[in-house]
A and B are shown apart, each in its own frame.
Chain A
Amino acid sequence: MALEITDANFQELVLNSDKPVILDFWAEWCGPCRMVGPVVEEIGREYTGKVVVGKLNVDHNPEVTRKFGIRNIPTLLFFKNGNVVDKQVGAVAKQVIVGKLQGHL
């Protein structure tokens, strides 16, 4: 199950994580986000223990959203050791996300 990331726990769960993190920026009203969401959760299940998968609602967490300049949703940010190492904007196929993830494992 993907972690619910908020402005409050972002530092602890994402930046301080010792594993790579995929963070999905989404909103309830966004159709493409609903396509990407299950895919991201599936990847989380497949890579349990290797990768942390989190979801951040852009409506409820404006601070983190603004900090990373998220203007398009869905956006996936790939974090490693607290730094953004990759980014994927828009609804894409699962293998595209997995392909990017493999490069950072």
Chain B
Amino acid sequence: MSYSIDHNRLQQFGSLEFLARQVVEGFIVGLHKSPFHGFSVEFAEHRLYNSGESIKHIDWKLFGRTDKLFVKRFEEETNLRCHLVIDNSSSMYFPVLEKLSIDQPNKITFSIYAAAAIMNLLRRQRDAVGLNVFSEQIEFGSAAKSSSVHFKYLYSELEKMLPPIGAEVRRNTLAAEALHHIADTIHKRSLVVIFSDMFQNHGNSEELFSALQHLRHNKHEVILFHVVDKRQELDFEFENRPYRFIDMESGHQIKVNPLEVKADYSRAVNAFKSELKLKCGQYRIDFVEADINAGFEQVLLPYLLKREKLH
């Protein structure tokens, strides 16, 4: 069976715009606000000419009419550099299903489709997109570019992650290291969209939060899609019979009756989730709860509409 992205499913966000909420530093003229005052598109104000300043931006027509020396200042608009960051650790291949499709996805399939849909939107806006895939280390990293060859390359890289991995493959999550690395390497004032379940088995959550803070410190706008299978991972809905649970990242096994641990498990997992949410709120990171059973359209569409309203 071949695994590929169904591009028809990505088209339905066609009329939406995906704009950066804060100023970004791009390299061509685009839709997003730039931190620089340029001399290009949107005429914003007249400023009194200071002697000694370059004369090339003087409004000469005005000088001709009124003998006043004023400089024209424009609001510069630029394009966006967006980095999609996908967690490719073993836990993202949960739940293990016989037949994977976008209607019946595991977490990685969901993330790939959502990322591809965002990529599609940005591609239409001529924004630059980069992709970073990490598990124990950065598995794939590309610079943000906006050429169509680059987009094809990224789609093919995304498709490579679609096939399920064998049960014996153990890829841990080292999200904190990966995010620190990404924060250091990408151009500042980018948009960083992270797809991860945020399940770490090394280190504590403090490291993870400091990595998220690092991203914000470099003036990136960060959106975190917390990808979970709500039914099984958060609500812990299993039948009342003994199960053998296997940690997909370490291979550690445990035999347990779900009902016995349900209360404790839910408490722990909800505490982690609310802490994550709280920290994201503090660092002004957009936290999006993404339940894979809801379908990627149902998660992405309300979020994009909400963003559109904010502009």
Contacts and interface: CB of A to CB of B under 8 A. Distances in A.
A71 B43 CA distance: 16
Tell me which of A32, A71, A89, A91 has the highest count of chain B C-beta atoms within 10 A of its own C-beta.
A32
A31 B43 CA distance: 8
A44 interface: no
A90 interface: yes
A72 B45 CA distance: 7
B46 A73 contact: yes
Interface string B45-81: 1111000000000000010011010100101000000
A23 B65 CA distance: 26
Given A90-B73, A90-B75, A32 B44 contact: yes
Interface size class of A (residues with CB under 8 A): 10 to 19
B45 A90 contact: yes
Contacts of A91: 42-45, 75
Contacts, number: 34
A8 interface: no
A83 B259 CA distance: 66
B60 to A, nearest CB: 13
Nearest to B68: A29
A74 interface: yes
A30 interface: yes
A87 to B, nearest CB: 13
B47 A29 contact: no
B99 to A, nearest CB: 49
Contacts of B43: 31-32, 91
Interface string A65-96: 00000011110000000000000011110000
Given A90-B73, A90-B75, A29 B45 contact: no
B62 A29 contact: yes
Nearest to B49: A71
Contacts of B62: 29
25 contacts: A27-B46, A29-B62, A29-B68, A30-B46, A30-B70, A32-B43, A32-B44, A32-B46, A33-B46, A71-B48, A72-B45, A72-B46, A72-B47, A72-B73, A73-B45, A73-B46, A74-B45, A89-B45, A90-B45, A90-B73, A90-B75, A91-B42, A91-B44, A91-B45, A92-B44
> Which 9 pairs across A and B sit closest by C-beta, in order of nearness?
A90-B45, A90-B44, A71-B48, A72-B47, A91-B44, A30-B46, A72-B45, A32-B45, A73-B46
